[in-house]
Structure 1
């Protein structure tokens, strides 16, 4: 039995050798096939010609090329004094965007871009840098005008001025600026809403703002908002965002407001607001509204000799029993007003010397008075 088993084992050895050889052959064939397939997939694909750009793409590219040269990058610094050494240092404060306004070197930007700064540096799209000085500012409109110093300034092509009066919700708009310091960025969106207002602590609301979903981020402030014709229709000013980044809700100061404010800033260094010659306070006004149930602006003081004084407006009086309301302004030119900021902002739609109709409530009796607006302080 032992010899038989040994003999059978010797008989199987040639077949084993044959099987091993066949397996080796199969493995080699499979490897060759896989290698040839991998080599085939490594070949470069054929590039397909793109063809002509779409008409709207060509228009957007041309718009950016035409406007880019007029947009500037603004960096600001602030002087601080060391308490112990009394040395004065200049430290970076912030940055933003701006727009070349005229050939005299005036640069338009937002007030909050340069607020608190002691120095400003302007970089043009061609790389040239200039120091700038403050010409004038209007915090109530979040607008400021700088001027480039030095004889080497040559104004690039300026953006044509449009109008914001006939804007429509849904039309295309384009924003150019330097978001997060990323130079000369173009974003596209639509007009999402018109006549928006933002509260302005301690002053009139910023009114008539354009709302857009064009991406606006920190650093875009002061840059232009353009319509599809490449015309300037607004100055990007703010975003609504819990995170501080674009959430699709941005705001721009309309060009019609800019055209009313900027010439005064250049000529006088300040904007003269039209006024009725009265004073009020938002916090006190809120308390009086809650106590009386009347919605309006309570006149707390009448300037002696003002148009309000000549028209016989009466201010609230403080007595032992509390405050006795005088005149309460409930409407301006037929439009209701309920907040001090709203009244001041509505007055800003007019010019000094123009007349407005004021609706007054005193002791439950309503009357109207026409007042000529005076220059404010």
Structure 2
């Protein structure tokens, strides 16, 4: 008892707990980071994607977890923004809020070309805190950024870093590319997908979507869809269920096929012209054999004066244009240059 009280004269000091040294106030940048997390964390949610499978013994349908990801509260109506690839394989979804309450969610819309999707939960507005929205238009390399997500199921994990690059291009879930992507060294791991990337004011500047890593784990390079793209696409998904992309109404051959079959080094070879679409009305043609045995085909070489060198360039030129706008399309047809005007039409596609 005397030893426990520290009164035994020869009781070694190393046997007793050491005194705690006062640390003083937190550094200003630490206080700022803590405040950013405290403010933004209630807006971040955990998403579980599930699929239906039948038990071969009981023949009952079971909900099997398909994967997890992150999302964030967009508005008080219960719309949740996440990545398209987080929900693409699921048939039902569960959203866990910051207070650990779980809510069944339904998909409202998705845009694979931007890797964005919107879910909806029916929750009292007072349980929802929409994330503050910033802009990606004035970002600079070197700015501090903060990522909040659920990597490996560890909910509300905060990682920090800087903007490492701007204007990057990454493959999209729809087979095209996402332009203007933000590159960051803030740690982004499996489960972070769909979570917010924040600036030092705690505003949303991007949606974490992908990492570059040979192993699949964090390797210092992460990517986020810019906030201005998110702010353009999400309202369309809420209203229409899909992005209102303007299209010509044609299918294009892949560049390798265009070169191998048609000998076209530059330009986009038209593979199909959809009936009742804009290109059909303008007289664009798919490949066909003439009576003399000659293969005829149209090659798009420019749209609104912008040179088309490969098939993906067509979608890039149409980026930001609206259905109903008119564009000038330059074609190479049987060795002759032809220019036609086409009124763009909305893309007709399923919700998912």
TM over 0.5: yes
Q: 1:105, 1:347 → 2: CA distance?
A: 32
Cα distance change of structure 1 residues 197 and 319 upon mapping to structure 2, 3 Å threshold = farther
Aligned to 1:292: 263
1:210: how far off? 1.5
Task: Tell me if the contact between 2:49 and 2:89 (Cα under 8 Å) persists in the aligned partners.
Answer: no
1:95 to 64, 68, 78: 68
The SS at the match of 2:239 is helix
Equivalent residue runs for 1:227-246 within 5 Å: 227-246=199-218
The SS at the match of 1:103 is coil
Aligned to 1:144: 117
1:268: how far off? 1.8
1:41: how far off? 5.2
1:301 to 258, 266, 272: 272
Aligned to 2:6: none
1:166: how far off? 2.0
Query: Please, which moves more after superposition, 58-67 or 332-341?
Result: 332-341
Q: CA RMSD in A?
A: 2.8
1:157 pairs with 2:129:
yes
Deviations 1:4-45 (A, max 9, x none): xxxxxxxxxxxxxxxxxxxxxxxxxxxxxxxx7x93555665
Task: Tell me if the contact between 1:77 and 1:92 (Cα under 8 Å) persists in the aligned partners.
Answer: yes
The SS at the match of 2:197 is strand
Instruction: Work out the number of aligned pairs and report it.
Output: 339
1:353: how far off? 2.7
1:171 to 133, 143, 163: 143
Task: Tell me if the contact between 1:276 and 1:307 (Cα under 8 Å) persists in the aligned partners.
Answer: yes
1:254: how far off? 1.3
> Higher Cα Rg: structure 1 or 2?
1
Task: Tell me if the contact between 1:68 and 1:176 (Cα under 8 Å) persists in the aligned partners.
Answer: yes
Aligned to 1:257: 229
| Structure 2, unpaired ranges of 5+ | 1-9
Equivalent residue runs for 1:1-377 within 5 Å: 39=12, 47-83=20-56, 85-149=58-122, 152=124, 154-200=126-172, 203-282=175-254, 285-290=255-260, 292-318=263-289, 324=295, 326-366=297-337, 369-377=340-348
Task: Tell me if the contact between 1:316 and 1:325 (Cα under 8 Å) persists in the aligned partners.
Answer: yes
1:179: how far off? 0.5
| Structure 1, unpaired ranges of 5+ | 1-35
Task: Tell me if the contact between 1:197 and 1:209 (Cα under 8 Å) persists in the aligned partners.
Answer: yes
Task: Tell me if the contact between 2:113 and 2:174 (Cα under 8 Å) persists in the aligned partners.
Answer: no
TM-score (norm 2): 0.85
TM-score (norm 1): 0.80
Q: 1:245, 1:322 → 2: CA distance?
A: 55
Query: Please, which moves more after superposition, 75-84 or 200-209?
Result: 200-209
1:56: how far off? 2.0
Query: Please, which moves more after superposition, 175-184 or 246-255?
Result: 246-255
1:139: how far off? 1.9
The SS at the match of 1:140 is coil
Aligned to 1:31: none
The SS at the match of 1:67 is helix
1:51: how far off? 2.6
Deviations 1:256-292 (A, max 9, x none): 221221112111222232101222132xx42222452
